[in-house]
Amino acid sequence: MLTIYGVHRSRASRNIWLAHEIGLPFRQVPVMQAYRLRNPDAPEAPLNTRSARFLDVNPNGHIPSMDDDGLVLHESLAINLYLAKKYGGVLGSQNVAEDGKMGMWALWAATEIEPSAIQILCHRVNYPESERDPNVVQAAIEALRRPIAVLDRELAASSFLVGGRFTVADINVAEVVRYALPAPELFEAVPSVRRWVEACHARPAYQRMMADREREPA
Ligand SMILES: N[C@@H](CCC(=O)N[C@@H](CS)C(=O)NCC(=O)O)C(=O)O
């Protein structure tokens, strides 16, 4: 059976959302981020990204990872491309051109969007008030204007990113764009992105993942 390493409150959410979309059974090992623990190395600490038992799985010390019948993969977006292709039917690529586009969107999300989107999430939500820097948020918003406009043009022409249907490309990009949502001013001029985010978040598999995520300790 597929094993997903990582708590819901991490990039493992992407893999869990996809698994729910497919109806793919999996075992979750709730490895949490070491930085969320006061003493991650203490013997009584919960399994975390610095635990020797997890470093045996992923020596990078990051979640998520997955093990599918002995094939171990890291990198949330690559895991999703693999699972969609192997188990996802029309959620995955149907030909080499779609393969190329899905790879492109995953790498685009990771490089063009994620670094700035994470800054928005940290400085508007995750960090304590005293550590939040509005200048960092402003710089991130400015950096994201062009790529988010690119996404908007794409989604004005087609409801979803690849093949005119909901696919793993939408999950991968929507999960990265989610980190920027605490900056609503970034989305004012991109109605097609807003419509698409709403459609992605209305999916029962996403809502199930988010409901489980809400139940996890913050
Ligand atoms: N590019 C990686 C990033 C993985 C990553 O940084 N994960 C975070 C949690 S979302 C993590 O493990 N942080 C804990 C740590 O670095 O100790 C991916 O997409 O899987």
What's the 3-state SS for the chain? CEEEECCCCCCHHHHHHHHHHHCCCEEEECCECHHHCCCCCCCCCCCECCCHHHHCCCCCCCCCEEEECCEEEECHHHHHHHHHHHHCHHHCCCCHHHHHHHHHHHHHHHHHHHHHHHHHHHHHHHCCHHHCCHHHHHHHHHHHHHHHHHHHHHHHHCCCCECCECCHHHHHHHHHHHCCCCCHHHHCCCHHHHHHHHHHHCCHHHHHHHHHHHHCCC
Q: Token pair for residue 66? A: 């997955």
Centroid of ligand 1 to alpha carbon of 185 (angstroms): 27
Atom of ligand 1 nearest to the CA of 60: 16
Centroid of ligand 1 to alpha carbon of 172 (angstroms): 15
Centroid of ligand 1 to alpha carbon of 111 (angstroms): 14
Q: What percent of the chain has pLDDT over 90?
A: 99
Q: What is the pLDDT of residue 171?
A: 99
Q: What is the pLDDT of residue 65?
A: 98
100-146 pLDDT tens trace = 999 999 999 999 999 999 999 999 999 999 999 999 999 999 999 99
Query: What average pLDDT score do residues 78-104 get?
Result: 98
Atom 16 of ligand 1, nearest CA residue:
62
Evaluate if pTM is beyond 0.85.
Answer: yes
Could you tell which of 5, 63, 77, 79 is best to mutate to test the pocket of ligand 1, judged by most ligand atoms within 8 Å of the CB?
63
Q: Token pair for residue 94? A: 């149907």
Q: What is the pLDDT of residue 16?
A: 98
Atom of ligand 1 nearest to the CA of 12: 10
Q: Report the pocket of ligand 1 as residue ranges, CB < 6 Å.
A: 10-11, 33-35, 49, 61-64, 75-77
